[in-house]
Each structure stands twice: as C-alpha cells, then as structure tokens.
Structure 1
Amino acid sequence: MLRILVVDDHAVVRSGLMLLLDGKHGMHVVGEAADGDEAVQKSIELKPDVVLMDLSMPHGKSGLTATAELKKALPDTSVLILTMHDDEEYLFRAIHAGASGYILKSAPHDELLKAIVHIGSGNAYLYPSATKRLISDYLDKIKNGEHADTYDSLSIREKDVLAKVAQGYSNKEIAEQLFISVKTVESHKSNLMEKLDLKTRPDLVKFAMKKGLLNFE
C-alpha cells in the first residue's frame, strides 16, 4: 500500500486529488494539508511514502521550503511537486530542495498516477518537456564552453549503472540486467556519485538527463 499525503491550499483541489488517488494502483490517501507548515507537521506525524506537494501556497511555508524541511526529517519520503508553473527555474529549485518529481497540474490523470507510483518505488519523474529542456540547456552550455565534462571520468560499468538508474530501474533490476550483485550496483552508484559530486538520487537523474542518457519518444 502506497501511503499518500495531499498538500494544496485549495480545499476543492485537495478533495478532487484525494478522490482521484485513493484506492488506485494500491494507493491510500492518509491525510491532507493546506500549507507548507501543515505539510511538514502531517508528514512527520503520518510518515507517508509520497507527498503530493503544491508549489505555490500563499500562507505559511512554500512548497519548496516545506519539501526541503520534510526531506531532512524524513529522507525516505518522496515528494512529487504538482504545479501550474512550466518554468525551468522552479524545476531546478524543486530538484535542489530534494523533490523526486515535478509534474504540471495540466497533466492527464493517468500521467499523475503513473508519476506517483514511479517515485513511490524510489525512482525520479519529470514531465517529458522538462527532460527535453534540461538536455537542451545542457547542450547549449556545452556549446558555449560552460561545462567541464566529468562524465568521462566514469568507468564503462559506472556509466551503465548511471543510465539504468536514470531510466528508473531499482538496484535489484540493474543487478539482474548487468549480471552483477546488488552490492556491486550500490558500490558503482556510490563511486559515480562521488566522482560527479552528486548528493542525491534526483541529482544523479538530472545529470543523466543532461547527458542525454534517456530515450525520448
């Protein structure tokens, strides 16, 4: 059972989201919050697997501040930012705050359900146009000589693991696909994150996206 906390400053939106999510794909909505302060409090109290977090809330803490605080208190809880802002700055700030995903309020219901299940399994999710934008931004900076390429410092196996992680596979699935042990996968992941100076899984996924290691339809 995937335990969900819904955070939005509009009661009608919260009600609609809870109705949409509860009972779908093994999800159970355990609570709701109307602002960032309540989101942190309810998260600590209820310990949900996933927090569906509104980005812009006029009262109390913002979604970004709340995300950073609850990730410090509950590092195993995943946060999916739900917002109307199709904006690169907000996207980067959300990832930096520790969010595992970022999806627009205009997304189809099926895509929202997919995103929640995805990050609830320990993976990262960004809506398709965001991933393309990250790659485009990276390529522009490379063209302008703004990035030193640390990717070449990785071993072939580390690059394989990086790509698999970015594609959403678990450590066990990566181990099976590469015919290595789970412990070896964890070791490769730790090494590559140290080489790339990355701290979190979203950071790793973001780097992989910038390197074009995902296939987009």
Structure 2
Amino acid sequence: MNGIRVLVADDQDLVRRGFRLILEAEDDLEVVAEAEDGARAVTLALETRPDVVLLDIRMPVLDGLEAARRILQQPGQRARVLMLTTFDLDEYVYEALRIGASGFLLKDTPPEHLAAAVRAVAAGESILAPSVTARMIARFTRQPPAQDARRLLDRLTPREQEIFVLLARGRSNQEIAGELFLGETTVKTHVSRVLAKLGLRDRVQAVALAYETGVVSPAE
C-alpha cells in the first residue's frame, strides 16, 4: 500500500523536525518535503504533489493563509491542507476554511492525534480542534445571517436541504441515513451533490456556511 505523502511547513526548525519524527514513526506516513516559509511551501507543493500539507498559519515571506490559497488553486492539485494554529490566531480560522482548508489543529496536539488527523484529512474528512470549533461558532452567534450566502441554499432540493442541515449539525452519513430512512450510499450521493451545488470543498465548509446563513445555531 502506498503511504500518505506529507509536506510540513513551519518556520521553526525544531517544530518541523518534531512533526517529521512523529509522522515518519508511522508505517503509512511519509514526509516528502519541509518548507520554512509560505512561499517555499507553495513551490514544494507543486513539485512534490503531497497528499496532505501541514501548514503553520503564521510564517515569513508568505503567511499560511495565502500559501493555502495558492496551493489549493494550483491546477491539478489534489493536496488537502491541514492548518496549525495557536490560541491567538482565531481571526484567520474562518477565512482559511472558506478557501478550502480541511481543518485546524492546535500546535500542542498529542502525537497520536496528529497522525490520525493526517490520515483522516487524506481520506477526505475534515478536522477541527474542539476549542477552534467553539470559537468559530461563537463568532456566528454575534452576527446576523448573511443573506447573499443564504440565497445559495435555493439551489438545493428539499431533500438536499434536509441533508445539508444534518450535515451541518455534525451527523455522519450513517446517522443521516438512520434519521431520514435512506441507504448510506444514497446519503453519500446526496452529500456530494450538496457540496457541489454550494461550491464547497468538504464538510467543514458546509458547517461554516450553515452558521453564516443562520440555518443552524449552537443551541441545536
């Protein structure tokens, strides 16, 4: 079985080396390149075609947000971006999710969680540290629903709107299937259509859009 190819981008040598040691201790993970700044990360992502890019949000030359944007916009690029953040950088979280990052982890994440997160993101799932999720939700409780974004939902059929709401509440495909009395394969098809119609990359972006439009609220 081919391993998951990872690019690690962080301006601190010790952090990069630490991540490499953690990831390469796993049989199925391979660090194919390291970058010390955002611009180098963009170049190496194009050269090495990793499956996952671990990207610090604060870096010299080009910050992690702009680096993520450029990586995800590269023609034919299939890499998933997993951002690394600290408690004082939450203002960038939502924008990174909107441009297509697959999630956020705090830099003090335990080693076993880091490896599991890389595998999950490579498999097409999304990852958000619980504390990051809480603050993202809090942001949307302090602002009115965005009407322009809400009009996007008119593209969905009634069934797809049901799927979207459950998706935004964090339900898995299996849980959605159980609630709506549908087969898992059918739910998977609906989820793919919902994401495509709304121009979303993954479930994390669906959650962000749901809070932005007021479709779901923390009380739910």
Q: Shared fold by TM > 0.5?
A: yes
Is 1:38 aligned with 2:68?
A: no
2:130 counterpart residue number: 128
Q: Specify the SS of the correspondent of 1:205.
A: helix
Q: Specify the SS of the correspondent of 1:87.
A: helix
Is 1:69 aligned with 2:70?
A: yes
Relative to the length of structure 2, the TM-score reads 0.76
| Deviations 1:4-60, CA, capped at 9 Å, x for gaps | 1111111121111100111426211111111112111111111110000111112x2
- Whichever residue aligns with residue 166 of structure 2, its letter is A
Q: CA offset at residue 162 of structure 1?
A: 5.6
In structure 2, relative to structure 1, the CA distance for the partners of 1:212 and 1:36 (3 Å cut) is same
Is 1:119 aligned with 2:121?
A: yes
- Whichever residue aligns with residue 38 of structure 1, its letter is R
Q: CA offset at residue 175 of structure 1?
A: 9.5
Contact 2:195 2:206 in 1 (8 A): no
Is 1:160 aligned with 2:139?
A: no
In structure 2, relative to structure 1, the CA distance for the partners of 1:48 and 1:160 (3 Å cut) is same
Q: Specify the SS of the correspondent of 1:6.
A: strand
Relative to the length of structure 1, the TM-score reads 0.77
Match of 2:140 among 130, 138, 157: 138
Match of 1:57 among 47, 56, 59: 59
5+ residue gaps, structure 2, are: none
Q: CA offset at residue 102 of structure 1?
A: 1.1
In structure 2, relative to structure 1, the CA distance for the partners of 1:146 and 1:72 (3 Å cut) is closer
1:190 counterpart residue number: 193
Match of 1:96 among 85, 95, 98: 98
Contact 1:54 1:83 in 2 (8 A): yes
Q: Specify the SS of the correspondent of 2:142.
A: helix
5+ residue gaps, structure 1, are: none
- Whichever residue aligns with residue 113 of structure 2, its letter is E
Distance 2:27 2:161 in 1: 33
- Whichever residue aligns with residue 201 of structure 2, its letter is T
1:81 counterpart residue number: 83
In structure 2, relative to structure 1, the CA distance for the partners of 1:213 and 1:116 (3 Å cut) is farther
| Deviations 1:86-138, CA, capped at 9 Å, x for gaps | 43311112213321111111222233223222211111111102212222332
Distance 1:13 1:192 in 2: 34
Distance 2:16 2:96 in 1: 21
- Whichever residue aligns with residue 79 of structure 1, its letter is V
In structure 2, relative to structure 1, the CA distance for the partners of 1:160 and 1:67 (3 Å cut) is same
| Deviations 1:149-202, CA, capped at 9 Å, x for gaps | 6669762454235634874857xx6897631646x74455434653xx444324
Q: How many pairs align?
A: 207
- Whichever residue aligns with residue 206 of structure 2, its letter is L
1:110 counterpart residue number: 112
